[in-house]
Amino acid sequence: MILRARFSARTLGLLLVSSLLLSCSATRLMYNQLDWLAVWYIDDYFSLTDDQRDSLREAVDQNLEWHRRTQLPRYADFCRELDRQWVENPSIELIEQRYDELMGYWYALLGHAMPDITEFLLSLSDEQVADFLERVEENNQEMIDEYSGESAERRLKQRQKVIIKITRRFVGRLNDNQKAIVRQYAGSLHDNSEEWIEGRRIWQTEFSRLLRERPEDFADRVGNLLFDPNQFDSATYREQVTENTELIFDMYEVLLFGLTDKQRATLSKRLNRYADDFEDLAAANVQPATG
């Protein structure tokens, strides 16, 4: 996934992972079309052969079936439990715990898909790998060119805009005081976009080398890169990311504890609506037992 915003993805981990897992239920149509959307997206990068496209579509379908059957019910339970816990015992510890659970869902999905990911990558020809790396570099250059033309003030406004937009998705419109809280905390975040871009390049260099060389331990090393994408970060950058994450948690402690009655009702309604959608999607995939 390419994050086009000019600040570290990990500084807004709570926001973005929550948005990813919950917003996929915003429309059942989108989830039900993820199979061909995933193949279309990958095909755009690799120019697949017919055989590769068929194999990839089968792998995506199998992973989606597993995801519907085993993960969507967990997402529904997560939403309903979060709604109940927030009413009974709101705390910053609850926010941190639930964030860790969300990250666990991502790693569960990645772990299940790893054999298929590895098989697909090993099926690529040298020409497909070269085309892929060229397209990745084009994206990198576009990102650098766009970033180089932005001022620190512009990047700050973008951070504020993203936080407000994602928060509004769950609690409704923010009042002036809540927007002021966002602006205050967003202004305190480390602006380490350049470090993030550099770390991304280092990660891509290692991934590119693996694609070209295909060593015997390819599967293990690709898995290591995907499960630990932060391994090339500098100590200074990691410290800044940790500080930014703590600020984000602090900000949400202030925002969530200060929700109006209407916003609390909106949050509860949306969490339960997400849960309903997850349950309906999961049930649509359940097949009657035979034999």
Name which of 73, 66, 61 is nearest 109 in CA terms.
Answer: 66
Residue 241 forms part of a structural domain: yes
Contacts 24+ apart (CB under 8 A), 214-219: 214/122, 218/118, 218/121, 218/122, 219/114, 219/115, 219/118
Q: 188 with 160: CB under 8 angstroms?
A: no
Residue 235 forms part of a structural domain: yes
The 10 Å Cβ neighbour count of residue 149 is: 8
Q: Which tokens belong to 218?
A: 């390819």
pLDDT digits (tens, 9 = 90+) for 168-179: 988 999 999 999
**What's the CA gap between 248 and 71, in Å, rounded?**
27
**What's the CA gap between 190 and 17, in Å, rounded?**
20
* Helices and strands per DSSP (H, E), number in the chain: 13, 0
Q: How many domains is the chain partitioned into structurally? A: 1
At residue 159, the pLDDT reads 87
The 10 Å Cβ neighbour count of residue 286 is: 9
Residue 198 forms part of a structural domain: yes
Question: 3-class DSSP state for residue 27?
Answer: coil
pLDDT digits (tens, 9 = 90+) for 58-103: 998 999 899 999 999 999 999 999 999 887 777 878 888 888 898 8
Residue 3 forms part of a structural domain: no
At residue 8, the pLDDT reads 37
Domain that holds residue 142: 12-283
At residue 149, the pLDDT reads 62
Residue 255 forms part of a structural domain: yes
Residue 290 forms part of a structural domain: no
**What's the CA gap between 101 and 107, in Å, rounded?**
10
Residue 96 forms part of a structural domain: yes
At residue 124, the pLDDT reads 92
CA distances from 2 to 6, 87, 143 (A): 11, 36, 10
At residue 88, the pLDDT reads 76
